[in-house]
Amino acid sequence: MRRVGALFGVVLGVGGLVYLADRLTKTWALAALTENEPREFIGSLLRLRLIFNPGAAFSLGTQVTPLFTVIQAVVSVIVLYAALRVRSWPWALALGLVLGGAAGNLTDRLTRPPGFGLGHVVDFLELPNFPVFNIADSAIVAAAALVALLSVRNVPFRGGPGHG
């Protein structure tokens, strides 16, 4: 039972760190950047460009913002439920990344203009030929890559011999 508590703590800890990093960087971006005025950060590799995204990745679904709000809330609840059952450290890490990312963008949906459940997500990181994103988005993508790797390597969600 102690292991369940420790792994649940990993999920919450990683999720909390991602959420905090997302909130702090978005707060900074709102204070330091001007909308749609790009600023080079790491040469031409990474630019800072403040945008407000009503949609999902690649600004898809801009007309169904409330749906994304519901999806992010449901994902957060499902991750918390799964966190009570995870028995694998790598899977706990993946769940934490998803939780922090979903909660970070959900906070924008609930608190930012134009209103509750309709809020536009603050995005500010831009790679060449790639849509503008944020720390929460990065965590979700990292989690997806980790889940794919764990799945390919047959790492069980509920642990097992040789899997910590």
Domain ranges of the chain: 2-152
Pick the catalytic residue: 101, 123, 124, 125?
A: 123
C-alpha to C-alpha distance for 98 and 153, rounded to whole angstroms: 20
- Of 61, 43, 41, residue with least CA distance to 120: 61
Pick the catalytic residue: 103, 125, 137, 140?
A: 137
Kindly give the confidence (pLDDT) of every residue in the chain, 164 residues in length, as a single tens digit, with 9 standing for 90 and above.
Answer: 456 689 999 999 999 999 999 999 999 999 999 998 999 998 889 999 999 998 876 666 777 888 889 999 999 999 999 999 999 999 999 999 999 999 999 999 999 999 999 999 999 999 999 899 999 999 999 999 999 999 999 999 986 544 44
Say whether pTM exceeds 0.75.
Answer: yes
How long, in residues, is the chain?
164
State residue 3's pLDDT score.
63
Q: Which helix (H) or strand (E) holds 27?
A: helix 2-32
Amino acid at 101: G
State residue 62's pLDDT score.
74
State residue 162's pLDDT score.
47
State residue 53's pLDDT score.
92
108 annotated active-site: no
